Amino acid sequence: MADKIQSVKGKAVPVRGSDIDTDRIIPARYLRCVSFDGLTGHAFEDDRQQVKEKGKLHPFDNPDFAEAEILVAGSNFGCGSSREHAPQALKRWNRGIKAIVAESFAEIFFGNCVTLGIPCVRAKEADVEALMAAVEADPGVEVTIDLESMTVAFGGRSVSVSMDEGPRQQLVQGRFDPTAELLEAADRIRETAKTIPYFTW
């Protein structure tokens, strides 16, 4: 069984905009990586370069957010292709993104995040804006995502968030990693396999 994830605390990084797709989160050229470790440092690489060419800093290049472990985004975050490389790249950025707060998520991206133990909680547009504004005003503000009370606390206030009950239970019970689940049930799987004729020929 994986570690139980009942809450996530840390600093946050805001990435403004809706419909940020997986091609932007990790460019397609990095899909050739032999292991996900090859993705380290490449999250939002093309976006970061485009912003840099305009003489500005992308949040993922801003040293004020270098210690962030929570990502705050707009609506339909992680849309586009189903590549697992997108959440894997976020997981490997600096200290690693350990949770995401957004207005909404693309379904496959959400599922890939849950499998990696990265909670993705939905918040109302006004609450996401308030969280982004608080983090931009003070990058050191601590953000707490509580998966049991389903709230996000920051800067002296708390807002309600949502997540489908199945994935929430997987996270808080430490049942989100399918490989770990299989390994834990190895003895039962072997016993079951003995009763299946085409496994015993």
Residue 89 parent element (H or E): helix 85-91
**Pairing assessment for the beta strands 70-72 and 12-14 based on DSSP bridges:** parallel
Domain at 7-174, CATH class = alpha beta
pTM: 0.90
Residue 106 clears pLDDT 70, i.e. is over it: yes
Tokens of 133: 């504004």
Share of the chain above pLDDT 90, in %: 80
**Range name among 15-19, 35-39, 43-47 with the lowest pLDDT average:** 35-39
Residue 181 clears pLDDT 70, i.e. is over it: no
Q: Give tens-digit pLDDT for 115-149.
A: 999 999 999 999 999 999 999 999 999 999 999 99
Residue 70 clears pLDDT 90, i.e. is over it: yes
Q: What's the DSSP call for residue 3?
A: P
Q: How far is CA 38 from CA 33, 41, 48, 60, 129, in A?
A: 6, 9, 18, 18, 33
DSSP structure string for 35-70: SGGGGTT-TTHHHHHHHHHTT---TTT-GGGTT--E
d(CA 31, CA 43): 12
Residue 177 clears pLDDT 90, i.e. is over it: no
Whole-number pLDDT of residue 182: 59
Model confidence at 195, pLDDT cuts 50, 70, 90, reads: confident
Q: Give tens-digit pLDDT for 163-173.
A: 999 999 999 99
Mean predicted confidence (pLDDT) in 107-122: 97
d(CA 26, CA 29): 8
Task: Name the average pLDDT for the chain.
Answer: 93
